Amino acid sequence: MTDGPPTDRKDRKTFVPPASVGGGSLMIAWQLKNKTVLIVGGGEVASQRIESILGTDARMIVLCPQKGLHQRTKDLVEHYPERITYYDRRFTGPAELHKIDLVLTAVDDPQRSRDIVELCRQAKIPVNAADIPDLCDFFFGSQIRDGPLQVIVSTNGNGPRLSNLIRKKLEAGLSGYEGEAIKKIGQLRAQLKERAPGIGGVIGRKRMQWMTKLCNSWEMVDFTQLNDSMIQNLLDEGWEKDRVPTIEALGGKPTSMPSTVSSTHSATPSSIVPWTVGLVTGVVVSFAYMKYRWHA
């Protein structure tokens, strides 16, 4: 007998390679809650890094001589003392990396950045060096933020300005209801899991299929209308009966969507079509729904 699967089976499907292999970054929603981020520098770029990290639940340590602080950095340090610890000095050496989870350098001296990056490599700490792409473990992209919805456009360090322009085009295609809709879906999923608990298996697949039908049948604005009583009614009349009632049937305002859907096959929802149109080749877009997910 030989190891491994047979290679001469007539019913073997033709291998379909991935659309892209290599040359890109892994786009992930990195949870920084209770992590500590070290920011070396205090200029304008550092202030932008601080604002990005404030959008997470991480703690920050900022190292920069007072004379090098940008006014925006000063304001952020002053207004968020519970999140930002500031030290009026430069980076001094390896000891600065003790209990640090992430490092961001934003200094004008490329050699200083390289020295810090090397120390981070030795300590196995992910690091980003502003304006030096070849030193970065990760990149900052141009971001759309609407509550739990995060959309990031990255050019992988090739053209930050272009990513900003593309982000604006994508943002113009959103309805404005996405963030609130995702919050309500998160509440619905939590209550659905209480009613039908279990990870994976038959129940998990059934939850996923039902949530998929619901998301494909309703408009974004429909989800924003949900309240506690409507969610319970939706679970009673929808989940328990394996169907998708309309928002009107639950007491919501009427929309242009078709009536109840019971088939497991659904068309692509019209509300997300603008999200998928006009993307520029080579630009990676990551929809990070944080703890809220569209699938069960």
**Same domain assignment for residues 130 and 215:** no
Domain-embedded: residue 93? yes
Global pTM reads 0.72
**Same domain assignment for residues 127 and 191:** no
Domain-embedded: residue 99? yes
Whole-number mean pLDDT of the chain?
A: 85
**190, amino acid identity:** A
CATH classification of the domain holding 55: 3.40.50.720
> Residue 13 pLDDT more than 50?
yes
Least confident range from 72-81, 95-104, 189-198, 253-262: namely: 253-262
Q: Which of 131, 228, 236, 242 is catalytic?
A: 131
> Residue 264 pLDDT more than 60?
no
> Both tokens of residue 8?
């001469």
Structural domain count of the chain: 2
Which is higher by pLDDT, 266 or 154?
154
Domain-embedded: residue 184? yes
Across the range 139-159, mean pLDDT stands at: 90
Domain membership of residue 64 as a residue range: 36-138
pLDDT score, position 289: 39
Domain-embedded: residue 126? yes
Confidence band, pLDDT 50/70/90 cuts, at residue 281 = very low
pLDDT score, position 160: 82
Across the range 109-113, mean pLDDT stands at: 96
Across the range 68-93, mean pLDDT stands at: 98
Least confident range from 77-81, 123-127, 284-288: namely: 284-288
Domain-embedded: residue 166? no
Confidence band, pLDDT 50/70/90 cuts, at residue 256 = low
**Same domain assignment for residues 126 and 49:** yes
3-state SS assignment for residue 218: coil
Can you tell me the distance from the alpha carbon of 97 to that of 103, in angstroms, rounded to the nearest whole number?
8
> Residue 259 pLDDT more than 50?
no
Q: How buried is residue 238: exposed, middle or buried, by Cβ count under 10 Å (0-12/13-18/19+)?
A: buried
Q: Establish whether 131 is a catalytic residue.
A: yes
220-230 pLDDT tens trace: 999 999 999 99
Which is higher by pLDDT, 156 or 43?
43
> Residue 58 pLDDT more than 60?
yes
pLDDT score, position 200: 84
pLDDT score, position 5: 55
